Chain A
Amino acid sequence: MGATTYGWLVLAFPLAGMLVISLGYRRLQAISPLAAGWVGTAAIFLAFLAALGALISLQGLAPAHRELSSSLWNYASTVGIDAQASILVDPLSVYMILVVTGISTLIHLYSVSYMEGDRGFARYFAYLNYFVFSMLLLVLAGNFLLLVVGWAFVGAASYLLISFWYRRTTATRAGIKAFVINVVGDVGLVLGTYFIFKHTHTLDLLRSFHATEAGAFGHGHNEGDLVAGCVLLLVAAFAKSAQVPLHTWLPDAMEGPTPVSSLIHAATMVTAGVYLIARMHTLFELAPAAQDVGAVVGAATLLIAGSIGLAQTDIKRVIAYSTMSQIGYMIMGVSVGAYAAGLFHLMTHAFFKALLFMAAGSVIGAMAGEQSLERMGGFRKALPFTYACFLIGGLALSGVPPFSGFFSKDDILLVTGERGGWHWALYGAGYLGALLTAVYTFRMIFRAFHGEPVAEARELQAGHPHHATAPSNPATGEQEDTDVGFPGEHHAIAERALPMRLAMGLLALGAIGAGLIQIPKLDFVIEDFLRPTFATSTLYEPHTRNGLLVLGLALGTVIGLLGIAIAYRVWVQRPGMAAAIRARTRPLYELFVHKWYFDELIDALVVRPAAAGGGFARHTFERLFVDETIVGGTTGLVRAGSAAVRAVQSGFVRYYAALLVLGVAGVGFYFLLQT
């Protein structure tokens, strides 16, 4: 089978899984309560095998021929638009489908146990398969049209899953927020596509890139329309990848079940922006202004998110801000030309971030749904496996060698530094962000696992998992039941569920070892693999400055360990120190704990003016103009006209006869006068 056949199979399995689960869930439930989960997991695993098949058959080709596209049918072919259902299988898309399907398989596996007691079990897996299918469609799309479709599907799937517990108002609100902000990105993508299509006259990705290289936009750098198109694509990437200022949906998305957070953050959603910029590198390299925008926003996001992560107390939100920060690195990387490094970080991040979320899910399970770090503590002995996984994920996230995050993050910063000039500022920001990362990650670990064991941890150590007396919303404390639309009564922890342990164990191996795929100066597996996609890139060069490489690696190690040391000193050695620091830096703490007031800012700049405009339109424009003038005026006119006509219908037959005779006589006289 050819690589493109495997590509179609990769799309077919999750789609089939979704259809089977959603149409046949009654039968599946009759077989076994967990059957839907296993079907979903198997579908994604088969897609992963097909992705491996695509990889193998792609590697069998000569490097210059590794860009294959295949079209199933013509969707529309008119007035110069060639809309086909076509996929593009090249090293970049194969890399992405491997990461997406590989991580998603493990997340599905984890979910089988985690969602076991939920009444929406089958629905959950149907959504999950749909989510993975959407993401695969996005990364395999061979033209802009299918890309937009996949892009919008991912947004819709995220809405469904974030508001999965649909009787929780906080969850439905978070889902709506995510969807609306994603639609802003969709609009950016569609408009950006229009700018590109206007000049290249084709929707096909490869042909569009070739036309751009051949000078469809003009032969200089920074042609106006190209920059506009690229900036609009960046808007799309920022919305999907939660970059400032379109990031506020991501922390709220923590309302969804924990494996969904894991999926959104590791595999299927926030990486789409990184992929988009890497895929469009031909366009971006001819529009350096847009690249600079991406790099600066990425750097700003990584610092802002890192600083917010220091002050948050919800364990999932801390990890969410950490994702924003890490995606900031990737966006910065692919915007400065560190494509291989950015995508390498995408993969390693997928491993350790999925792992961190799963471990957090296990802790939340042990706390019976409670997510606040304030109430956690001392789980080290009660949850030894979770603790080990959390520690591995945390070390990888902090960039401590030899864990995976160390190599990939330093790779991005190395390439950034090599660009020189003002990129040194980004370089500095990256290492400052690394320090923040280490501090907030280990703050979280020390607060959840060290210190005095809380009541739940002691109960668990004695062998009784804690169960809440009355289930409640962890965000608001509202009372809930365990029926459909709310979390089920079952709380899973990794220590007691084999599928969860298996998924976490495999991810932990990845978090430890994935960085060794590409060690600076030793091997360049990912760089070499991705090279055909970036064959025409001017920025895709092997590294040169050895001095900088050594400095970066040393700096990364020192900063990672320094951050951990700070966290240890503040949260373990001197328990009162955190409060003292908080008191001394009150304004800064307020800023961080209120998330830099972005929600308030967006509320004041966008939401409230829009609401005021809507209110005006509804109460003034609609009522006075539409209802009373347009609609009321028309009906009034018709009424008056019909009243006049009605008056003539007197009902006197003789009167009608007289009118008829007079009329005919009138017509007769007219003709007589004519002749």
Chain B
Amino acid sequence: MSIAWYLAVSAIVFALGAVGVMVRRNPLVVLLCLELMLNGANLALVAFSRMWGNGDGQILALIVMTVAACEVCIGLGMIVAIYRRHLPIDVDELRELQG
């Protein structure tokens, strides 16, 4: 099977994630979409790794998963904190850091 298919799927998943980050307002969904973007990138990495026949890409994919785990950790923590303070669960309302 041509590498192009794998890359096409990867691009679609990444684009879905990116659009989700931009259009959704629920922070939980935004986090999920971020995960989608990371996994789209992972798919491309693994595909390239297979094409070249060495394991470097797979190692990189593992590292990205680690990073993703950390990011989810912080992100979910923040969401829990927001919930606990009875703040709106909406990224457009959470704009205290505006200049």
Contacts and interface: CB of A to CB of B under 8 A. Distances in A.
A522 interface: no
A650 interface: yes
A657 interface: yes
B76 interface: no
Given A657-B21, A661-B18, A661-B22, A650 B92 contact: no
Contacts of B96: 651
A656 to B, nearest CB: 10
Contact of A653 (B18, B91, B99): B91
B76 to A, nearest CB: 16
B4 interface: no
A653 B94 contact: yes
Contacts of A647: 99
Interface string B17-50: 0100111010000100000000000000000000
A654 B25 contact: yes
B22 A654 contact: yes
Interface string A626-669: 00000000000000000001111111111001100100000000
Contact of B99 (A649, A657, A658, A661): A649
A648 B99 CA distance: 8
Nearest to B25: A654
B92 A649 contact: no
Nearest to A645: B99
Contacts of B92: 652-654
B98 interface: yes
Contacts, number: 36
Nearest to B95: A651
Contacts of A651: 95-99
Contacts of B94: 653
Interface residues of A, number: 13
A596 B88 CA distance: 90
Interface string A515-536: 0000000000000000000000
A225 B23 CA distance: 84
B95 A654 contact: no
A661 B22 CA distance: 9
B35 to A, nearest CB: 14
B95 A650 contact: yes
A217 B98 CA distance: 74
B63 to A, nearest CB: 20
Contacts of B95: 650-653
Interface of B: 18, 21-23, 25, 30, 91-92, 94-99
Give the 3 A-B residue pairs with the shortest CB-CB distance, closest first: A651-B98, A651-B95, A649-B99
26 contacts: A646-B99, A647-B99, A648-B99, A649-B97, A649-B98, A649-B99, A650-B95, A650-B98, A651-B95, A651-B97, A651-B98, A651-B99, A652-B91, A652-B92, A653-B30, A653-B91, A653-B92, A653-B95, A654-B22, A654-B23, A654-B91, A654-B92, A657-B18, A657-B21, A657-B22, A661-B21
Interface of A: 645-654, 657-658, 661
Given A648-B99, A652-B95, A661-B22, 13 more contacts: A647-B99, A649-B99, A650-B98, A650-B99, A651-B97, A651-B98, A651-B99, A652-B91, A653-B92, A654-B21, A654-B25, A654-B92, A657-B18
